[in-house]
């Protein structure tokens, strides 16, 4: 059976790909609706098995990114098994990482315009409806209650809540890419302004310190990209990657003395920063005890030491620290290698400067948020990595626009 896609008119399978992206995003916190939570996880695993068989065995295609990401998630899986952790969640993490990036590397890289007809509408729907429900239900649509008894009153549509700021930033990132790669039209301008406005209102209402800082940086840098299209300066991708890794080590070791913490204090959330400084210090002690492979994904009963510091805490609240805790130095090295390979790929390709800078700006601003969120377990993190990997593929969309044509491409997938 052949699935045929077109750059100009994607066929009825567009809805299928929208559902696949939604499955990998999994707009979180369904634990109090257990059957729905399991349904998402099972859908991810089945999707990965089917796509993996179809592309790697039947079509004999290769996806180097998917293999790197698979290695990146297999180490925490091994650590989970060794330490008697939550093996099912670790398997789901493998499915998320492998499946999300495989879709980008195999499908979107060949049909880049399909991204703006599938993933972008999904993000817009999630973000816009989320803000609407925040205003209609300021106390939340339902309560999320952890096994330790912690209650959250900020769960809105589909479980998207205030801590999942990367959803918001990912929407801005994809919206800006849509604007850059297509001719400037009133429609694309309205969509871009609407997305930025909704995201700003959301993070302002919820008073998300890291989100505000990341959004301001993204807004300023993206404005420069839009206004100065012929800019010859490059924001080095590798430098941005290493900068954030170094900053993560500094931030998580300086407690409330770091400039990042001072910013959040100014935002009026000092108690949150104080709790996270204790979490970071405690997690570092754990990492030092088992630095090579880490602890994997632990069951909630084994994480009581963390929930005793801050009610409801399930991660280190820092993506880079989570990587070290779950997979040790081994996983962290693979993570750095992936970023370096993406940087080299961007540098060696004929990627326009504007696209190259878009990739660097996207990484820079989303990693600001990752400094305060444990985003490793979320599909949005892997979707971002997949986007950065296939950035050169969007060059042909820009070339078509500059040449005054829009080529229709049909491929078997």
What percent of the chain is modeled with pLDDT above 90? 4
Look at phi and psi of residue 8 and say left if phi exceeds 0, alpha if psi is from -120 to 50, else beta: alpha
Distance CA 195, CA 176 (A): 9
3-state secondary structure of 154: strand
Distance CA 383, CA 64 (A): 15
Question: Which is higher by pLDDT, 87 or 44?
Answer: 87
Q: Is 264 exposed, middle or buried (0-12, 13-18, 19+ CB in 10 A)?
A: buried
Whose structure tokens read 């490059």? 234
Instruction: List Cα–Cα distances, 135 to 168, 206, 209, 309, in angstroms.
Output: 17, 11, 20, 31
Instruction: List Cα–Cα distances, 54 to 57, 61, 102, 232, in angstroms.
Output: 6, 9, 12, 42
Model pLDDT, residue 381: 78
| Position 194 confidence tier, pLDDT thresholds 50, 70, 90 | very high
Tens digits of residue pLDDT in 339-384: 999 999 888 887 788 888 889 888 888 888 887 776 555 667 788 8
Task: Taking residues 318-335, report their average pLDDT.
Answer: 88
Tens digits of residue pLDDT in 215-230: 888 888 877 776 666 6
Q: Which two tokens stand for residue 126?
A: 């999630």
**Mean pLDDT for the chain overall:** 74
């Amino acid at each position: 059976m052949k699935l045929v896609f077109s750059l100009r008119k994607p066929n009825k399978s567009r809805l299928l790909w929208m559902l696949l992206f939604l499955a990998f995003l999994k707009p979180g916190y369904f634990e109090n609706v257990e059957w729905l939570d399991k349904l998402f996880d099972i859908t991810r695993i089945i999707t990965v098995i089917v796509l993996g068989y179809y592309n790697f065995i039947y079509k004999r295609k290769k996806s180097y990114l998917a293999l790197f990401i698979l290695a990146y998630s297999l180490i925490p899986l091994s650590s989970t098994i060794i330490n008697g952790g939550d093996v099912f969640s670790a398997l789901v993490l493998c499915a998320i990482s492998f499946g999300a990036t495989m879709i980008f590397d195999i499908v979107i890289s060949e049909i880049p315009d399909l991204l703006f007809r599938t993933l972008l509408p999904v993000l817009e729907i999630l973000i816009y409806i989320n803000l609407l429900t925040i205003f209609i239900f300021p106390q939340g649509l339902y309560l999320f209650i952890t096994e330790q008894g912690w209650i959250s009153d900020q769960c809105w549509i589909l479980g998207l809540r205030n801590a999942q700021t990367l959803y918001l930033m990912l929407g801005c990132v994809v919206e800006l890419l849509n604007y850059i790669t297509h001719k400037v039209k009133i429609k694309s301008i309205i969509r871009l302004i609407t997305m930025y406005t909704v995201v700003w209102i959301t993070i302002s209402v919820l008073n998300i310190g890291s989100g505000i800082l990341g959004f301001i940086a993204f807004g300023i840098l993206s404005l420069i990209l839009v206004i100065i299209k012929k800019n010859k300066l490059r924001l080095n991708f590798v430098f941005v990657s290493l900068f954030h890794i170094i900053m993560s080590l500094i931030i998580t070791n300086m407690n409330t003395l770091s400039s990042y913490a001072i910013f959040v204090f100014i935002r009026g959330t000092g108690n949150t920063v104080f709790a996270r400084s204790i979490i970071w210090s405690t997690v570092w002690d754990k990492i030092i005890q088992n630095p090579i492979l880490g602890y994997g994904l632990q069951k909630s009963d084994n994480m009581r030491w963390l929930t005793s510091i801050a009610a409801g805490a399930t991660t280190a609240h820092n993506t880079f620290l989570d990587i070290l805790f779950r997979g040790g130095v081994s996983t962290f090295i693979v993570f750095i290698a992936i970023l370096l390979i993406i940087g080299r790929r961007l540098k060696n390709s004929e990627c326009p400067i504007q696209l190259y800078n878009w990739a660097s700006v996207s990484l820079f601003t989303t990693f600001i948020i990752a400094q305060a969120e444990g985003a490793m377990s979320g599909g949005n993190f892997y979707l971002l990595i997949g986007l950065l990997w296939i950035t050169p593929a969007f060059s042909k969309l820009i070339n078509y626009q500059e040449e005054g044509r829009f080529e229709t491409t049909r491929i078997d997938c």
